[in-house]
Amino acid sequence: MSLPLIALFIAAFAFGTTEFVIAGVLPQVAQGLGVSVPSAGYLVSGYACGIAIGGPLLALATKSLSRKTLLLGLAVIFTLGQAACALAPDFTSMLLLRIAVAVAHGAYFGVAMVVAVGLVREDQRGMAVAVILSGLTVSNVIGVPAGTAIGNIWGWRATFWVMCALGVAATLAIAALLPRTTGYQARAASLASEVRVLARQQVWTSLILMLMLMLGQFCLFTYITPTLLEVTGLDENLVPWVLLLNGVGATLGVFLGGKLSDWKLMPSLITMLALQAVTLAIIYAVSPYPAPMVVAIIVWGGLNFAIGTPIQTRILAWTADASNLAASLIPSGFNIGIALAASLGAAMLNAGYGYRSLSLVGAFAMVVAVIVAVISHFWERRSDISPPVPAAAG
């Protein structure tokens, strides 16, 4: 892994940890700010909205800045935001600060992925995207448990102070390791060009695949703990270990997806989508049995992130001549998909369907994704059009 990619990874790890660690310290935050735990939950949904809405807007507003300058600015916003959260006097200020950091988060991942693919050869794009995505998976495996433990020992404000220190490290890494010339220059693309690239079938079909992937993942994952407790019958103390193994599978899956993206992107993507449909059907079948359920959960986690890498690589490849808006829509689309999946799962549970039914929803979504991916692939091959050349080097 090159030093510039390491710098981008560190910042991705920081943003991923601060997004997810709030769940681990939510009761302490609620008590410290004098609100109920359900009210404190808005710190999670507010962050997701900040990514989904604010990220693309900030990316468009800052497209005239050099990429290194922008990434440094976003890392500084992250760092100051963590310090401000640690000092937040009340819930309202905490919520607004989290939303501000989330806007920077959404812009960061869009820009970082564009920069990452600009730093490597064309046949290494998938692995470059995988490095950025691995920041999110590693944050779940290491950052969130560590941040939660720190909050339990020294209080939730200490968690944010540690996140602030991580932000300083990320800022210094970007300043020292990222070259001034990133292989991509945002000024070359107009707003009209940014919007037009979204009409390319490879782009909008990939966004549909992203939505289906989130349905396949988060309809079940949102309610994975009660599923493991009530359906599988696992001991409560074993659930964190299952989630840890799921995170390890996800981290391995990211790099598998990167390798496959650089080898044969669409055939690999179609195969993995089909395998995920089978895996979710297997989860439905084995969910009452602990040992096979745990194995299926690990495979499911690995495939989720293995699939995400080629989808994002494809979007970046087909928007290389105007990638600001499209790249920023990647984290935005993921978070919209997460919200829709969680809401659909809640609606099904409220309608009387059990936790087992959630995996069947995911399997159906994966079948839809296979159909869309196959049609898109043959459409692309019949048109015999190559991905665009990047707007400019700079």
What sign has the CA pseudo-torsion 74, 79, 81, 82?
A: positive
> Which amino acid type is present at position 133?
L
Mean pLDDT of the chain: 88
| Rounded-to-integer distance, Cα 17 and Cα 49, Å | 17
Q: What is the pLDDT of residue 389?
A: 67
Q: Contact at 8 Å (CB) between 60 and 67?
A: no
What sign has the CA pseudo-torsion 70, 119, 201, 360?
A: negative
Q: What is the pLDDT of residue 222?
A: 75
Q: What is the pLDDT of residue 364?
A: 96
| Rounded-to-integer distance, Cα 43 and Cα 48, Å | 9
- Point out the residues of the chain with pLDDT beneath 50: 185-187, 393-394
Q: What is the pLDDT of residue 76?
A: 97
Q: Contact at 8 Å (CB) between 119 and 5?
A: yes
Structure tokens at 41: 């939950």
Backbone angles phi, psi at 36, to 5 degrees: -75, 160
Q: What is the pLDDT of residue 393?
A: 42
Q: What is the pLDDT of residue 186?
A: 46
- Tell the burial category of 276 from Cβ atoms under 10 Å away from its Cβ (0-12, 13-18, 19+): buried
Q: Report the alpha-carbon angle 86-88-89, nearest 5.
A: 135
pTM over 0.85: no
Q: Helix crossing, 201-221 with 324-350: angle to 10°?
A: 40
Length of the chain: 394
